[in-house]
Amino acid sequence: MNYRHAFHAGNHTEVFKHAALILILEHLAKKPQGFVVLDTHAGLGAYDLLSEPAQKTLEYEAGAAKVFGQALPSAPAYPALLADMNPLGLIRYPGSPEIARRLLRSQDRLIACELHPADVEVLRVRYGHDPQVGVHHRDGYEAIGAFTPPPERRGLVFIDPPYEKTDEAATLARAMANGLKKWPTGIFLAWYPIKDRLIADSLADAVVSTPFPKTLRAEFQIRPRNDQTLTGGGIVVCNAPWRLDEALTALGQDLSRLLGDGSASCRVDWLTPS
């Protein structure tokens, strides 16, 4: 599949993925030492929900629009961030760089990488004068090797590719394995879509066979898989923070209530021992 974020901004997979991202960033912020976020496929940074791509799909109506203005006890910072960006109603949706930037403290920084030439120019306009953000026009997988380990020795690599290529999951798994060799204590979070089980199973097999250290898997589906439409998304988190499994289980329960029609489901398990 080709997951271009401008068409899918704010959909149900984005809600789960970005709320999970916030939970990890909040964990990193518990210690006073600075941390770095490496966003390998940064996209535009933020998205106009009134734009042609977003209006063509209206996917946010079944996602962020149902969370906007509602209580989310498992991840209250997520709807709070949406509200802060949209004081007059939901018209903008934050991508992962914008979420990370808003949660950085003065001692933290963001590295945003994007290969698409038009998208990286948008990022440069948005963050070009921000001393805490570095924007790089480069391949995100190559960036993992280039920017790890960071001087801070604490942080997160966030990998959210468009899955344009048939071997994307294998490429992602290799990049994560190489990154973990260079930065064995870093947190690595990778997202994948659930349409059929091909991508999810390929990524899980790679994690188990390598094997990766302490890797958590979490999947949220708004409806049962049908092998034809995007029914959900999953994440794998290497070096998952303590009790993240419990937090993601609670998140899945909250989102099932807000987004589901009774058929939503959440699965959280360990691919490698905790």
160 is annotated as an active-site residue: yes
- CA 20 to CA 114: how far, in whole Å? 22
- CA 211 to CA 74: how far, in whole Å? 30
Backbone angles phi, psi at 189, to 5 degrees: -120, 125
- CA 213 to CA 90: how far, in whole Å? 39
Catalytic residue among 119, 160, 245, 254: 160
- Enumerate the active-site residues: 160
